Amino acid sequence: MGCTVHDFLYVGALNVYIDQELLKVLEAWRCRACGAVLAGERPMGPISSTEGLKGVTTGEEERWLAVARKGAGSLPPDVLLVRARKGQEFSVEAIDEEDSRLLVRDDWSVVRASDGSPPKTVVVYDLLSQLKGYIDLSTWPPKAFTLQRRSAVEGDLKPL
């Protein structure tokens, strides 16, 4: 059942740091009527109330993934929001990956599309499972922490 207008409640934030520096904040709101999830990737500095909002996922078919990539040279480390469906491929520019295409498997884990192996320089988190927490990109793999009881494990996204 869809809402004409969603009634969003703030769920929480995922702060992305590089050492002591706050790089960006990922946020999510959930509709208290239908469960749809609005997610945003908010840069630091003065921003409008809608800047960085990435859209709404509805139902069990879609999830928001927080995709961390290792940086090197001209490619800075970053965490990107990706709207994902099972069986879907998406691309993330990352170092040491011969092919940037990644595949979302039926258990929501993410592997390289080319050979089904885990990516070396990309770590994927389920956004909702990692809220009220942080990811620190100053080491690789990143340090990740959440106040939630369930925490995302590398390559093994827990059901919500």
Residue 11 engages Zn ion in binding (rule: CB under 5 A): no
Which of 3/53 has CB closer to Zn ion?
Answer: 3
- Best CA proximity match to 127, nearest among 62, 63, 32, 54: 63
Q: CB of 134: closest distance to Zn ion in angstroms?
A: 28
Q: Which of 3, 11, 95, 153 binds Zn ion (CB under 5 A)?
A: 3
Alpha-carbon distance 5 to 43, whole Å? 26
Which of 5/73 has CB closer to Zn ion?
Answer: 5
- Cβ contacts of 40-49, under 8 Å, gap ≥ 24: 40/81, 41/80, 41/81
Q: CB of 27: closest distance to Zn ion in angstroms?
A: 17
Per-residue binder mask for Zn ion (CB under 5 A), 21-60, x = binder: ----------x-xx-x------------------------
Alpha-carbon distance 141 to 87, whole Å? 25
Alpha-carbon distance 63 to 123, whole Å? 16
Which residues here bind Zn ion, judged by CB under 5 A? 3, 6, 31, 33-34, 36
